[in-house]
Amino acid sequence: MTVALLYRGPFLLTHAISQLTGRLMSEHMTGSGLTPNDFAIYSVIHAEERITPSRLAEIVGLPPTSLSYVIRRMEDLGDIRRIANPDDGRSVLLELTGKGHRLTHKAQEGFSRAIKAFRAELDIDERHLLDQLEAMAAALERANAKTRGKKTQRAKAASATPARKAPSDGAKRVNHTSQ
């Protein structure tokens, strides 16, 4: 039996929004030298001037491990540099190089066209929309933090549990979790 969707839930809707946003930005940013995903990172570094990788990960919503790959790529391209953090000798700050600034400015032109096209079609108050999206982001951050906490607890419990011995009767066991 097939059941039609009466409405899109928050995850399906945000997935669709992400796809539509990417398409609109790609169409307007073609030839800028940056993808919409790259522009998100470059534009935050540009706006902040200098930023720690952990703060950047928090703002753009990327796991730090994924962001470290992006940072290395940007560094290899000569678009950013790492400098010592004067407030914390154990961390670094990221800043755009001249080349990184030029790429960001060029991509900004396409982004401006994309956001203008979006705003022309938006028929609700943008501030209200942003407040709702921030509330969703905060709820997702809390849910992710709780999930990580539970995984840590399960991992600790699993490591404290003695390993079970394999059956000695030669019986075959079926793994039902992969089905």
Calculated CA dihedral for residues 18, 24, 27, 33, nearest 10 degrees? -50
Two tokens at 178?
């992969």
What's the pTM value of the predicted model, to 2 decimals?
Answer: 0.75
Q: Please report how the helices 10-29 and 98-121 are oriented relative to each other, as an axis angle in degrees rounded to 10.
A: 120
Q: Quote the pLDDT of residue 150.
A: 75
Identify the CA nearest to 82 among candidates 70, 92, 91, 73. 92
Q: Quote the pLDDT of residue 119.
A: 97
Residues 6+ apart with CB under 8 A from 126: 119
H or E stretch including 58?
helix 53-60
Distance of CA 118 to the CA centre of its chain: 21
Mean pLDDT per segment of 10 residues, for the chain of length 179 residues? 77 94 95 94 97 94 91 96 92 96 96 97 96 95 87 68 51 42
From the candidate CATH numbers 1.10.287.110, 1.20.90.10, 3.20.20.70, 1.10.10.10, the one assigned to the domain spanning 20-142? 1.10.10.10
Q: Quote the pLDDT of residue 171.
A: 45
Report domain extents, the chain: 20-142
